[in-house]
Structure 1
């Protein structure tokens, strides 16, 4: 007989049972496990009353049961119907009240998962019944605390904003612990530590040894990404699976890699597809042979499926000289004539090996053996790896051996979950102090479902506080079905305030009808269907067998055709046999062609043999040539051999040259970074446009634009329409953009037509604009185009602006055109503005052009601004 252990939820919960006055004996007596299903009202026996005058109460606890000898120990949350109840009022059987009770149950399940996690970490051989009792008491206390807090803040389901916050918060906790949703802790490889062929990570050392980590068992191998490793006397077969199916990708970038050992000093890697045929891809060669000589030197050669020699990414042979003392290989690359060549901009590559056989440092050198940069402008990559050979810290250096501060993430720290998935990425400076990336974020955290889909991403600033960053959201949630299809997407500010786009799109809910129909609904934070600014709530997409979208239709929240601003109800699309979109037509609700911009209803595209778009043509609703925007019926594009666009030109419907944004034709010359270095603009007579027809851009060695200059058709320096020959882009020591300087034809500082020579940005530690100021060519303070010399932004700890002040050239407060010198914002914990107050240069409360001195806004879980009231400077409320 299997021993069974039972843990009561808490003394407080048990006492609550005394408040249940049963109308009749409960008919439902069997407990309901959380993993079985959602609760229904049929699970709640009817009682005459509940202490506290509540309408319903759910009782749940954690139980563990099993037989260690049978390798089974289940820790689970259960709801006990006979200790729960609801009063016999029809209105109590509401969906929302049931949701409230379900979340009480969800809180218990969350802590059951934490219980499992901690028990699993102890391990099969060490876990005792005393451990189970200790952990049980620990989590019972935590359950009681959270249950109490939930009811207190939600006011037992009466405070709907708080109730909805808790629903979202608890759902997030369950996503974070998705890995521990299995009840039986013997189903976790981490607990049993038994022999297995399955692993979440693999790595091949430079000496040809296969390393494995994050072992998995057979049962859980159907979830997420995993490798099956089969070893025999003379070979190792590594197969890559995703959600139980062989697939392309993973470490070897192929479904299967067979490692064979033809001799003691030779390793061959054979890359196969799921059917066992050689895998043909640009990502890898079908066969790679690695050979060592008696001194440990290594040679890589590449073969096709017929064992003919081929190049891999331009390299026929890769040779490495072994240094036993330094534990390193010094690699060089060769073509088919055995001539040494560059690879990824480097002539030599030094790889140093750490104590755990994993590469710890990669350095690049030119043909003289001097440090050089790879294609990412990095000279040295330095890694710290953990016992699972995953990178825990990475640092990037320039060729002077200094940290490459120009590179976002030049010093990055990584953390991983139980499956080896990244759960946090943080950025640091030379000393290891917290810094922010280009988006103002110091740390990103991640959560995943059991299929390894990323479900949650959160952002934090250098103070470790929740931050919205440049993208203006803190938390992204994406949920998927078992087929890996997105079913829900939303972005939130801190505290689960739903972010709406400028088009007023909130949470998007996806529904799939077979393989050919996708419905996308726009919902608010409460799950209520809502129209966006175009009057659209539901978008319906029809797909063909190739998953190409054939039509996109728009409906409002009432289920009728949406009344969009352009009266378009449907877009219809056509494709060529290569999958290129060749036509898009806008239709009204009757299915007739409808102009969506200017006189354009249909757009058609043409492509070259390499699938580059070479021509765009616009048509009217009558299928005649359209005048289109700025009278450009035809757009013509040309490309170089690398498929980079090098020329654009525009024509009217008579195929006569026309101007678009002031030019008929633009020719682009690109630098080594693939960016514009010269842009030449031509008029309709194919002549270089006078003034700024020839624009040249200069870049640093690592790809940062540092200047923009103007020349005439003879390549003579000229001034642009603002009276400036060159605009110099300035950066700070960390290569953050901090403003412009204007130069004349001879390199001298000049003022533009507004009397400005310097625009200076001063940034705060997170990279946000702190001060904006203007100066002339003599570095004298001047008034800028907005009517002030300098603007100061003051930030709170969340990096949200809470005050903006304007100053004149005399460094005194100055009023803007509305008579306001100071904008003061009251910000709540979610980063929402709850009040805006205006002050003049004398620090007196003043009014804007509408006579308002202060705006007050109601806080809402919907991240939209709801005006509460307006006050004038005398504090009187305005209508």
Structure 2
């Protein structure tokens, strides 16, 4: 049987477009427009043969029609059945061939969207027939080239990995252009600008003026987040909608907000939910009242629905001093007793307004009015914003007036789409050069569906090339239904190579049956359901009325119960009225309680009034107290007034102290960052453990660990299990970790039991490991615990390691225990290793302990490693089943 593949029949007849001009609707009734539905085999008439022995052909093109007097102008992709065909009825059953044909049609739609986007940008006043003809030629030619490339690289649907890549790539193009899927140009506010009460963004200035931007028309107000703004002489009402439904959220956090103004400049903001009931939460009050004097100074107070004064964010009253010349407000915060308090860790805040009435500078000050760092370790924020009142550049500064280079993303730029969504974020250093964030990424790009859901995130390095960053993926794709529920989620390496988790979870699909059942499936790059390493390919989740998961059941692809490693086929969960999980129980495929760890089948939790977990108890299959791990039946927890954990203890079923990892109880004193300052570890006799049961920590001003020191029961310096009293963690000017130093009990540099005193780490521009090396107490090179002095990584332009070399104390290549000095990796465009080769210190191919010098892997759309062949140092192939 001949392979089922396809030829594209002249989808790009430029002359047809030029001659057609504005087509009459009657002439295209037999065509199928892309937005109407997906194609099926009934759309392809059966024909006797197709030149080239292909099994199907599709004809699609781009047309436009319209009448300015009637205010409609459609640009659309269409498939014409009588110019398409298939050679026999049997091909109706070939889903994959139909998918190939549909993606040809999708390419046409993609260029129709680009056509619409550019036409909208030209605008209704300047879009002439000649312009439409010019754009038509431009995009039909671009479409023609992509259609040819699609067939060429997929070999007309016969090269399966390439075909799948193209399907995913074309789907990505449609995600990028989702906001241009309506064929009618008059449906776009940017094209047919009308006065409208609908806006995508609102902003309240320092002077209380409500600014609006990204106007929207009534048709598109049903999609995504949008505000309906009704202005009256003495008040403004703002209604917040999401996908056509009035809901709480948005700039004012409430569904309905009314702002009333008085003649003296005072104003009152009232918030209500969708039903009209008073709204408040932890950050905003039902009523916010701002009283202004003749100089523009303000006093702001907060009230509940009963008219009682309340505090928000710890502030009972705000006083602001207005500087009309500088267009700035200096705010101070007070509690109920009139005493100064902090808001966001600062006593005073200075906000300066730009020419467009948007805040351009925010600075923090201490109680005495001196510059200070806020809760994010920033003294001053400087913003640039555009005419739509959104930030295009944000810079963060230290108190010395220099950019806060130790803070992540201290100099960021933002780009927006026509709906006001951020479509790109990039990062720069203090000299304006490209740099990366803490994840090694210079730029992120974002795409959204018409409902405003983020559907596509991608990462790029300073060279503009795809990168995977620290978390090892380039692209994150999430799809949603019209109710905002996720239906698909996957992470990819460059080139749409699917990333798998360590447990071999690939992409996840979600199916919803009513409001109470969610079916999650683990699928591979081709959409085929597959089991992970736990034997699970499908998970059924049952939800209660609060959308809390009350049970999970695990199945194989054939519908039978999954044979998981721990034997659990189903979990049940219970919650209290505040949403805290209070029980988890495990069951086997017969519905019987099943022990999943030691003799534990049930776990129950208790909480305090602040929702802090205070107790964990483990039970057996008979609902009796379990012995559990290390005979620990109970875990107890205590918290301070700030809800920081300060004590954890362990007990057996008789409430006698028990040990977890050798510790009965851990008591901590936390610092202002909520991190451990002093940690004390006790044995079952409730005495500090010997020889070093106390650990003291110090941090830098940003809360990053600097030192870790060990002490005995008498608070005297002691040595830990590695023979070290104090560990110093070194950091560079960006606060990135650059190594450790070890010290003894008398403050002297010391050698750990691992044989070194100092480890030096060097990072590249993106924060990835360039090299690390070990030194003795005299800074002399020494051999580290891995058996070498130094390891150095070399990277390609995509920030992938292509070589790792190890060196001795003479700084020359040295062989490790397997006789390997150089690990050389051949990396494909997705960032995966497709060949690993081993070399000795003399540059000769050498073999590992298995007798293999080179491993060769087959590239695939599934981001797993498929070993293709293995070679000895002399090039002899070793059969895969010989090892």
SS at match of 2:315: coil
Tell me, yes or no, if structure 1 residue 464 matches structure 2 residue 452.
Answer: no
SS at match of 2:262: strand
Aligned to 2:104: 104
SS at match of 2:115: helix
Q: Tell me, in whole angstroms, the C-alpha distance in 1 between the residues paired with 2:822 and 2:747.
A: 38
Q: Residues 34-433 of structure 1 correspond to what in structure 2 (within 5 A)?
A: 34-88=34-88, 90-91=90-91, 93-433=93-433
- 8 Å CA contact 1:29, 1:81 repeated in 2: no
- 8 Å CA contact 1:394, 1:411 repeated in 2: yes
Tell me, yes or no, if structure 1 residue 715 matches structure 2 residue 708.
Answer: no
Given the superposition, is the C-alpha separation of residues 11 and 549 from structure 1 closer, same or farther in structure 2, using an over 3 Å criterion?
closer
* Cα drift, residue 545 of structure 1: 2.2
* Cα drift, residue 711 of structure 1: 1.4
- 8 Å CA contact 2:583, 2:604 repeated in 1: yes
Q: Residues 532-681 of structure 1 correspond to what in structure 2 (within 5 A)?
A: 532-681=532-681
Q: Tell me, in whole angstroms, the C-alpha distance in 2 between the residues paired with 1:233 and 1:367.
A: 40
* Cα drift, residue 572 of structure 1: 1.6
- 8 Å CA contact 1:822, 1:840 repeated in 2: yes
Q: Tell me, in whole angstroms, the C-alpha distance in 2 between the residues paired with 1:29 and 1:513.
A: 37
Q: Residues 493-504 of structure 1 correspond to what in structure 2 (within 5 A)?
A: 493-504=493-504
TM-score (structure 1 length as normaliser): 0.96
Out of 209-218 and 750-759, give the one that drifted further. Answer: 750-759
Out of 612-621 and 420-429, give the one that drifted further. Answer: 612-621
Deviations 1:238-294 (A, max 9, x none): 111111111111111111111111333211111111122221212211111223222
Q: Tell me, in whole angstroms, the C-alpha distance in 1 between the residues paired with 2:14 and 2:258.
A: 60
- 8 Å CA contact 1:726, 1:744 repeated in 2: yes
Deviations 1:542-592 (A, max 9, x none): 122222222211111121111111111111222333332222111111111
* Cα drift, residue 37 of structure 1: 0.7
Aligned to 2:22: none
Q: Tell me, in whole angstroms, the C-alpha distance in 1 between the residues paired with 2:338 and 2:619.
A: 57
Q: Tell me, in whole angstroms, the C-alpha distance in 2 between the residues paired with 1:595 and 1:254.
A: 46
* Cα drift, residue 815 of structure 1: 1.2
Total equivalences in the alignment: 860
SS at match of 1:47: coil
Tell me, yes or no, if structure 1 residue 10 matches structure 2 residue 12.
Answer: yes
Q: Tell me, in whole angstroms, the C-alpha distance in 2 between the residues paired with 1:829 and 1:819.
A: 30
Q: Tell me, in whole angstroms, the C-alpha distance in 1 between the residues paired with 2:240 and 2:687.
A: 58
Q: Tell me, in whole angstroms, the C-alpha distance in 2 between the residues paired with 1:626 and 1:829.
A: 52
SS at match of 1:153: helix
* Cα drift, residue 13 of structure 1: 11
Aligned to 1:787: 787
- 8 Å CA contact 2:795, 2:801 repeated in 1: yes
Ranges in structure 1 where 5+ consecutive residues have no aligned partner: 1-7, 16-27
Q: Tell me, in whole angstroms, the C-alpha distance in 2 between the residues paired with 1:14 and 1:261.
A: 60
SS at match of 1:341: coil
Deviations 1:192-233 (A, max 9, x none): 111000000001111111100000011111100000000111
SS at match of 2:585: strand
Q: Tell me, in whole angstroms, the C-alpha distance in 2 between the residues paired with 1:155 and 1:615.
A: 62
Q: Tell me, in whole angstroms, the C-alpha distance in 1 between the residues paired with 2:385 and 2:469.
A: 29
TM-score (structure 2 length as normaliser): 0.95
Aligned to 2:4: none
Aligned to 1:873: 873
Aligned to 1:805: 805
- 8 Å CA contact 1:33, 1:77 repeated in 2: yes
Out of 661-670 and 307-316, give the one that drifted further. Answer: 307-316
Q: Tell me, in whole angstroms, the C-alpha distance in 1 between the residues paired with 2:874 and 2:446.
A: 49
- 8 Å CA contact 2:314, 2:342 repeated in 1: no
Q: Tell me, in whole angstroms, the C-alpha distance in 1 between the residues paired with 2:584 and 2:567.
A: 16
Q: Let me know the Cα RMSD of the aligned residues.
A: 1.6
Deviations 1:485-508 (A, max 9, x none): 111011100000001111111111
SS at match of 2:689: coil
Q: Tell me, in whole angstroms, the C-alpha distance in 2 between the residues paired with 1:221 and 1:179.
A: 13
SS at match of 2:48: strand
Given the superposition, is the C-alpha separation of residues 636 and 338 from structure 1 closer, same or farther in structure 2, using an over 3 Å criterion?
closer
Q: Tell me, in whole angstroms, the C-alpha distance in 1 between the residues paired with 2:353 and 2:609.
A: 46
Out of 642-651 and 664-673, give the one that drifted further. Answer: 642-651
Q: Tell me, in whole angstroms, the C-alpha distance in 2 between the residues paired with 1:298 and 1:422.
A: 33
Aligned to 1:4: none
- 8 Å CA contact 2:825, 2:837 repeated in 1: yes
Q: Residues 419-458 of structure 1 correspond to what in structure 2 (within 5 A)?
A: 419-458=419-458
Aligned to 1:22: none
* Cα drift, residue 185 of structure 1: 0.7
- 8 Å CA contact 2:14, 2:140 repeated in 1: no
Given the superposition, is the C-alpha separation of residues 10 and 575 from structure 1 closer, same or farther in structure 2, using an over 3 Å criterion?
closer
- 8 Å CA contact 2:41, 2:92 repeated in 1: no
- 8 Å CA contact 1:852, 1:871 repeated in 2: yes
Aligned to 2:23: none
Q: Tell me, in whole angstroms, the C-alpha distance in 1 between the residues paired with 2:517 and 2:140.
A: 46
Deviations 1:157-208 (A, max 9, x none): 1111111100000001001111011111101111111100000000111111
Deviations 1:650-698 (A, max 9, x none): 1112211111111100011110011111111011000011222110110
* Cα drift, residue 93 of structure 1: 4.7
SS at match of 2:179: helix
- 8 Å CA contact 2:254, 2:271 repeated in 1: yes
Q: Tell me, in whole angstroms, the C-alpha distance in 2 between the residues paired with 1:314 and 1:228.
A: 31
Aligned to 2:5: none
Q: Tell me, in whole angstroms, the C-alpha distance in 2 between the residues paired with 1:40 and 1:754.
A: 67
SS at match of 2:441: coil
Q: Tell me, in whole angstroms, the C-alpha distance in 2 between the residues paired with 1:828 and 1:432.
A: 32
Q: Tell me, in whole angstroms, the C-alpha distance in 2 between the residues paired with 1:278 and 1:678.
A: 45
- 8 Å CA contact 1:649, 1:666 repeated in 2: yes
- 8 Å CA contact 1:379, 1:397 repeated in 2: yes
Q: Tell me, in whole angstroms, the C-alpha distance in 2 between the residues paired with 1:335 and 1:585.
A: 46
Q: Tell me, in whole angstroms, the C-alpha distance in 2 between the residues paired with 1:297 and 1:246.
A: 35
Aligned to 1:18: none
Q: Tell me, in whole angstroms, the C-alpha distance in 2 between the residues paired with 1:380 and 1:178.
A: 38
Tell me, yes or no, if structure 1 residue 686 matches structure 2 residue 691.
Answer: no
Q: Tell me, in whole angstroms, the C-alpha distance in 1 between the residues paired with 2:793 and 2:236.
A: 61
Q: Residues 794-873 of structure 1 correspond to what in structure 2 (within 5 A)?
A: 794-873=794-873
Q: Tell me, in whole angstroms, the C-alpha distance in 1 between the residues paired with 2:762 and 2:741.
A: 14
Q: Tell me, in whole angstroms, the C-alpha distance in 1 between the residues paired with 2:546 and 2:661.
A: 38
* Cα drift, residue 91 of structure 1: 4.2
